[in-house]
């Protein structure tokens, strides 16, 4: 966590935010520091006394930090220095469905897409026609919908995953770009890539077999980007803090997408813009069916169409999510996720942009 970013973004206590109170956070303790970068320490709230750890340069700014640490303890303290042979044995021993294997699969899919094109050992195309960099290509198409007359202010990349979109936005805009994600493993990987220029991950071959890949990647312009662990449903920022919010394939990963849109609206500056891509790939394990944007209740006037309902959420009317108003342009964007060397999941995402009135 760069101190300069912390001071300029002026995060507020997410615990106080749940009570509609605004209390700025302060850096309470620094235990390890590398120049401007706090590697290990504690961020604190003087109003409610809440403490938030900084681990591996990642501040964990969520409302219930105790619950988050309990739920994510495995990912937060997981070793990243296992040798390939030992990691392979641990993977075999832990077996399918284990937390270890779930984390490896998740990282394999997303790191491959975000950074695989910089891997000198990577093939241009995977079986199934997928090739690395889909998220960057989708971002290009999505950003084309955003206006060039944005107000002053930083950029927020929600659900940034392995961090490629953070790097790409930072190279296009001379602004601070903050990527946030709730996934500790992805956030750690993103920061190592975006700030440190290094990628080290297990690329899944098939089943429980993985090949360790280590390579250098182009970083974001120095001092322009960072990665934090935050919850989109409880953003630790004051109102009107950002000029642009980017959300690549994240809306259908939220417990309550409409509340997520309301939070994005809250932190956007007046005349700021929101750019989203959505595959509408809902899971009841993540989002209760009644909160899905489309995909159910096809007997209604919207016919179960996610695109129609999202358009209504970003338009004047009873469903409006705050003051976000959609722009007339939309775009269909291909996106894919590599599962293993014989399987890729292909999506067609819906791209939409909105301006805050």
Is 90 exceeded by the pLDDT of residue 57?
Answer: yes
What band does 128 get if pLDDT is binned at 50, 70 and 90? Answer: confident
Domain ranges of the chain: 3-77, 84-356
Residues linked to residue 354 through DSSP beta bridges, in sequence order: 274, 326
pLDDT score at 147: 84
CA atoms within 13 A on the CB side of 95: 1
pLDDT of residue 208: 97
Residue at token pair 């990642």: 58
| Residue 108: per-residue pLDDT | 97
Averaged over 56-60, what is the pLDDT?
A: 97
For residue 330, pLDDT beyond 80:
yes
The reported pLDDT for the residue numbered 49 is 96
For 113-124, how does the pLDDT look when each residue is reduced to its tens digit (9 = 90+)? 999 999 999 987
Distance CA 99, CA 108 (A): 14
| Residue range 199-228, pLDDT digits in tens | 999 999 999 999 999 999 999 999 899 999
Quote the tokens at residue 71. 């739920």
- What pLDDT, on a 0 to 100 scale, did the predictor assign at position 356? 94
Task: Compute the Cα dihedral for 1, 64, 266, 141 and give only its sign.
Answer: positive
Residue 127 has pLDDT above 90, yes or no: no
* pLDDT tier for residue 148 given thresholds of 50, 70 and 90: confident
Query: Is residue 125 pLDDT above 90, yes or no?
Result: no
* 159 in Cβ contact with 187 (< 8 Å): no
C-alpha to C-alpha distance for 24 and 52, rounded to whole angstroms: 13
Token pair for 183: 């996934």
Q: What is the pLDDT of residue 101?
A: 95
203 Cβ contact partners less than 8 Å away, ≥ 6 residues apart: 108, 111, 112, 116, 210, 211, 212, 213
Report whether 232 contacts 10 (CB < 8 A).
Answer: no
Q: pLDDT at position 39, please?
A: 97
Domain 84-356 matching CATH 3.40.190.10: the answer reads: no
């Amino acid at each position: 966590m760069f101190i300069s970013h912390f001071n300029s973004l002026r995060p507020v206590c997410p615990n106080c935010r749940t009570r509609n109170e605004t209390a700025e956070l302060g850096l309470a303790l620094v235990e390890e520091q590398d120049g401007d970068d706090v590697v290990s320490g504690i961020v604190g709230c003087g109003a409610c006394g809440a403490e938030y750890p900084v681990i591996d340069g990642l501040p964990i700014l969520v409302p219930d930090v105790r619950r988050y640490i309990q739920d994510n303890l495995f990912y937060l303290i997981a070793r990243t220095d296992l040798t390939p042979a030992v990691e392979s044995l641990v993977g075999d021993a832990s077996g399918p469905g284990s937390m270890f294997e779930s984390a490896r699969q998740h990282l394999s899919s997303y790191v491959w897409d975000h950074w695989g094109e910089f891997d000198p050992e990577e093939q241009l195309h995977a079986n199934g026609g997928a090739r690395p960099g889909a998220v960057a290509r989708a971002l290009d198409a999505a950003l084309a919908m955003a206006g060039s007359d944005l107000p002053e202010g930083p950029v927020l990349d929600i659900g940034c995953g392995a961090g490629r979109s953070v790097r790409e936005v930072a190279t296009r805009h001379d602004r601070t770009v903050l990527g946030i994600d709730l996934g500790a493993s992805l956030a750690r990987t993103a920061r190592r890539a975006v700030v440190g220029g290094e990628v080290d991950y297990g690329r899944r071959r098939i089943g429980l077999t993985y090949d360790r890949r280590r390579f250098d990647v182009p970083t974001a312009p120095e001092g322009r980007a960072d990665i934090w662990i935050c919850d989109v449903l409880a953003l630790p920022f004051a109102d009107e803090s950002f000029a642009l919010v980017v959300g690549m394939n994240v809306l259908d990963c939220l417990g309550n997408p409409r509340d997520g849109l309301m939070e994005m609206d809250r932190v956007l500056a007046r005349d700021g813009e929101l750019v989203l891509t959505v595959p509408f790939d809902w899971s009841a394990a993540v989002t209760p069916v009644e909160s899905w944007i489309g995909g159910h209740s096809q007997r209604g006037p919207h016919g179960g169409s996610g695109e129609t309902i999202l358009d209504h959420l970003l338009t004047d009317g009873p469903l409006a999510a705050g003051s976000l108003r959609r722009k007339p342009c939309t775009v269909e964007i291909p996106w894919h996720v590599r599962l293993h060397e014989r399987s890729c999941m292909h999506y067609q995402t819906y791209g939409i942009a909105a301006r805050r009135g």
